[in-house]
Amino acid sequence: MTEKPLLLVVDDDPLISDALGYAFAGDFDIVTSHTRAHCLRLLQQLKHAPQAAVVDLGLPPMPHRPDEGFALIGDLLAIDPEMKIIVLSGQNDDDNARHARTLGAVDFVAKPCDPGRLLKMLHQAIAFNGSDVLDKVASGLIGDSLPMQGLKLQLEQYANLGFPVLIEGESGSGKDIVASHHLHQLTDRRKQPFLAINCAAISPSLIEPTLFGHAKGAFTGAASARAGYFEEAGSGTLFLDEIGELPHDLQPKLLRVLENGEYQRVGETQTRVSQARIIAATNRDLRQEIKAGRFRADLYHRLSVFSVTVPPLRDMGNDRLLLLEHFRQRYAAQARCEPFTLDAAATEHWLTYSFPGNIRELRNIVIRLTARRAGKAVGSEQLLAEFDTSEPVDRTRSTVSPQPETAESTIRPALDHLQKAGHIDLDATLAKLEQAYIEAALQIAGGNVSQASRLLGINRTTLYNRMEIRQRS
């Protein structure tokens, strides 16, 4: 018998979760959750990540806003970049649908929906396989643009040197591909293990034993001693993704490994030595994190002996057409159908669209068009429906212009607090002012994040990131 794929359903309405579980039980093994926090705890207990997920946007504690659902999409893709996510939500305005796709969801379905249609979409999404090594090699470094040429040259220089490498780049740009293939598989370490941990996708309390291992009885649930990733990697490669999320109290222990290879299992005093090469990646500006006191400067300098930047798709010019052709041919072959084509106007839009979700977004657009428009010409109208077109206004011509009473009531308390403190801390002042402006813009926009981002003159994805950072801090 063939093992059924695992499906994750996240919805705070138990009637919907139960109905989908009943309707899809013959095709999937199903796990359900009702909040983002519960979902992340649940995933830590599973032996492997689900192949697909159906996610509601309106989740507690803010069921009338899409914030938790958007954040969960990022969490799930951090755990497994190949997870196929379909959003099923009553918050079905076009902006929410497009932004969900930009973040990495393969599709968006409005409630109520036909379970048969949703089941068909899930099977189609899983059928498009993008996880094999050959696909990763090609999709990761296709292109002849100057930024891509520079990246290829750097990787050729650094691949076999054995020193730590810091990979910087936006979400969806392919940092994991650069690490796993170009800084491991194409090096002398290729016959050694390659282990990866996403620092944003694992509970802070579990990161230390996962990295360093633990002794029997070191903490509740430690029924036996266990080796950590540093030990299991041997003389291979250890990839620390989203290193900017590493808890501050663990950073000195990682620094020690980088300086002399030494570490200890949790609950042990015996010193062990790691021979693994460390590769780290981040979509954050670690220099700003250092200024804010969230990341150690000495750790940053140790990690960035060599550093490479994976360029965003918007800077890659005609490489977007090369990637289009690669994915179009690949997924048409998988679906055993003729590839779609773009007419002249649609091609022009393709070349001018910024792809804020980078290669992951481009790939998902190709998957959707392959499923819906196989063998047909795609025009401007059909293509623009796939894009997140809510571009912010020009920064130089737009500032927040809140209603006087709203701005005063929101920003004034932050300034009063600073005045009473008797001194000005620049980082704290800027952080409080930023938070106040975000809150003012959201109040004016009635909670609509798209409108708030336009008021602030920033991209909506940037606004979501800033809101999430403020919530964590």
> Would you identify the CATH topology of the domain 6-127?
Rossmann fold (3.40.50)
Position 395 scores a pLDDT of 29
CATH class of 395-472: mainly alpha
Q: Which sequence spans correspond to the domains of the chain?
A: 6-127, 146-309, 313-384, 395-472
Over 60: is that where the pLDDT of 408 sits? no
Taking alpha carbons only, the member of 270, 157, 134 closest to residue 215 is 270
Cβ-based neighbours of 465, under 8 Å, separated by 6 or more: none
| Cβ-based burial of 131 (10 A; exposed 0-12, middle 13-18, buried ≥19) | exposed
d(CA 42, CA 446): 33
pLDDT at 130 over 80: no
How far is residue 442's CA from residue 451's CA, in Å, rounded to a whole number?
8
Amino acid 452: pLDDT? 74
Asked if 400 contacts 455 with a C-beta cutoff of 8 angstroms, the reply is yes
What is the dotted CATH code of the domain comprising 313-384? 1.10.8.60
Confidence at 401, pLDDT banded by 50, 70, 90: very low
């048969």: which residue's tokens?
Answer: 116
Compute the half-sphere exposure of residue 268: CA atoms within 13 Å on the CB side of its CA: 20
Which amino acid is it at 400? V
Quick one: average pLDDT of 311-318?
93
User: What is the pLDDT at residue 449?
Assistant: 72
For the domain covering 146-309, report its CATH number. 3.40.50.300
d(CA 449, CA 249): 33
87 or 457: whose pLDDT is higher?
87
Give the Cα separation of 263 and 271 in Å (integer).
6
Residue range 145-168: mean pLDDT, rounded: 91
Give the separation between CA 44 and CA 37, rounded to whole angstroms. 11
**Residues 446-473 pLDDT 10s:** 666 766 776 777 766 677 767 766 665 5
Residue with tokens 């650094």: 158
> CB of 366 within 8 A of CB of 400?
no
Instruction: Find the distance separating the first CA and the last CA of the chain, reported in whole Å.
Output: 48
Measured from the Cβ of residue 273, the count of other Cβ atoms closer than 10 Å reads 11
Beta strands in 221-321 (DSSP E): 226-227, 237-241, 262-263, 272-273, 277-282, 306-309
Query: pLDDT tens, 13-66?
Result: 999 999 998 999 999 999 999 999 999 889 888 888 899 999 999 998 888 888
Each residue's pLDDT tens digit, 198-257: 888 787 888 999 999 999 988 887 889 999 999 999 999 999 999 999 999 999 999 999
pLDDT at residue 89 tops 60: yes
What residues does 32 pair with on adjacent strands? 9
Q: Among residues 122, 83, 115, 87, which one has the least CA distance to residue 101?
A: 87
Does this chain's domain 6-127 share its CATH topology with 146-309? yes
| Predicted TM-score of the model (pTM) | 0.69
Q: How far apart are CA 242 and CA 167, in angstroms?
A: 10
- Report which residue type is found at 225: A
- Total residues belonging to the chain: 473
pLDDT at residue 426, as a whole number: 58
- Report, as an integer, the average pLDDT of 184-189: 88
Q: What is the pLDDT confidence band of residue 196, given thresholds at 50, 70 and 90? A: very high
Which is more confident, 296 or 46? 296
Calpha distance 353→187 (Å, rounded) = 35
pLDDT tens profile 440-449: 777 666 666 7
pLDDT for 435 equals 77
Tokens coding 459? 């991209």
* Tokens, residue 219: 């903490």
A 10 A CB-CB count for 137 gives 16
- Tell me: the pLDDT tens digits for 246-265? 999 999 999 999 999 999 99
282 has a pLDDT exceeding 70: yes
Q: If 0-12 CB within 10 Å is exposed, 13-18 middle and 19+ buried, where does residue 75 land?
A: middle
| Strands, E assignment, 41-144 | 52-55, 84-89, 107-110
| 467: its two tokens | 């809101």
